[in-house]
């Protein structure tokens, strides 16, 4: 029995490892799962507490995704004020506290777990959903405001499209100018 479950786990892990370079496909699959969950909640007209808890968990994961691995604010508090040791123009890559793949995996598994919970009526607590939505929006706005202020204070941008490539000046010769 143990060998069988271990073989299943290894196959599952192998498939996860193969999916790492396929970022767009993974996020499309997540979108399908999220849409399925939203459709289930809409059609059943319930499970708003589960959705609220899921929203808070996603917000927490998103903040970890946007945060640097080594928080300069914590380092500043621990070490005290120090003189700068690097030039401000030096390239420092942004290393996330929660990498993209782990963010995707956590958010996907949380949606799957929440979807499974919608099949048990014990979790369908009657609540007035606009209040939960309002609470979540207030939490989202205040948390993102704090995160954006942190980004501005410590001058980091968590989103990039890759390393910049400089091509240099284009060298023109007399033959090229004669053709134009």
| Confidence at residue 119, expressed as pLDDT on a 0 to 100 scale | 96
Q: Which two tokens stand for residue 8?
A: 């299943």
Kindly report the number of other CB atoms within 10 A of residue 171's CB atom.
6
- The segment with the largest mean pLDDT, out of 30-44, 65-79, 164-178, is 30-44
Kindly report the number of other CB atoms within 10 A of residue 30's CB atom.
15
Tens digits of per-residue pLDDT, 125-134?
999 999 999 9
CB burial class (10 A; 0-12, 13-18, 19+) of residue 170?
exposed
Tens digits of per-residue pLDDT, 92-108?
666 667 889 999 999 99
Instruction: Report the chain's mean pLDDT, rounded to a whole number.
Output: 83
Of 50, 52, 80, 39, give the one whose Cα is nearest residue 136.
Answer: 52
| Confidence at residue 26, expressed as pLDDT on a 0 to 100 scale | 94
> What distance in Å separates the CA atoms of residue 1 and residue 169, rounded to the nearest whole number?
66
| Confidence at residue 8, expressed as pLDDT on a 0 to 100 scale | 92
What are the phi and psi torsion angles at 96 (to 5°)? -75, 150
- What is the DSSP secondary-structure string of 154-180? HT--S---S------PPP--HHHHHH-
Please state the rounded mean pLDDT for residues 117-146.
Answer: 94
Of 107, 105, 99, give the one whose Cα is nearest residue 158.
Answer: 99
| Confidence at residue 130, expressed as pLDDT on a 0 to 100 scale | 93
The DSSP H or E segment spanning 41 is: helix 23-44
Kindly report the number of other CB atoms within 10 A of residue 65's CB atom.
18
Decide which of 83 and 122 is more confident.
122
Average the pLDDT over each of 35-39, 122-126, 154-158 and give the range with the smallest value: 154-158
| Confidence at residue 148, expressed as pLDDT on a 0 to 100 scale | 86
Of 112, 103, 123, give the one whose Cα is nearest residue 48.
Answer: 123
Tens digits of per-residue pLDDT, 52-76?
999 999 999 999 988 877 766 666 5
What predicted TM-score, i.e. pTM, was given to this entire model? 0.74
Q: Decide if pLDDT at 82 tops 90.
A: no
| Confidence at residue 66, expressed as pLDDT on a 0 to 100 scale | 84
> What distance in Å separates the CA atoms of residue 97 and residue 67, rounded to the nearest whole number?
6
């Amino acid at each position: 029995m143990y060998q069988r479950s271990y073989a299943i786990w290894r196959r599952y892990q192998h498939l996860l490892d193969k999916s790492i370079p396929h970022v767009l496909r993974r996020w499309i699959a997540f979108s399908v799962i999220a849409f399925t969950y939203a459709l289930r909640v809409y059609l059943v007209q319930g499970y708003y507490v589960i959705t609220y808890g899921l929203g808070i968990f996603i917000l927490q994961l998103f903040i970890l995704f946007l945060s640097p691995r080594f928080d300069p604010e914590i380092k500043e508090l621990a070490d005290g004020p120090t003189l700068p040791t690097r030039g401000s123009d030096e390239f420092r890559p942004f290393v996330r506290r929660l990498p993209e793949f782990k963010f995707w995996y956590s958010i996907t598994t949380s949606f799957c777990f929440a979807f499974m919970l919608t099949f048990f009526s014990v979790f369908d607590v009657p609540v007035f959903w606009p209040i939960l939505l309002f609470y979540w929006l207030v939490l989202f706005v205040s948390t993102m405001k704090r995160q954006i202020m942190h980004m501005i204070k410590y001058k980091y941008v968590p989103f990039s499209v890759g390393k910049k490539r400089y091509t240099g000046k284009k060298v023109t010769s007399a033959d090229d100018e004669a053709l134009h």
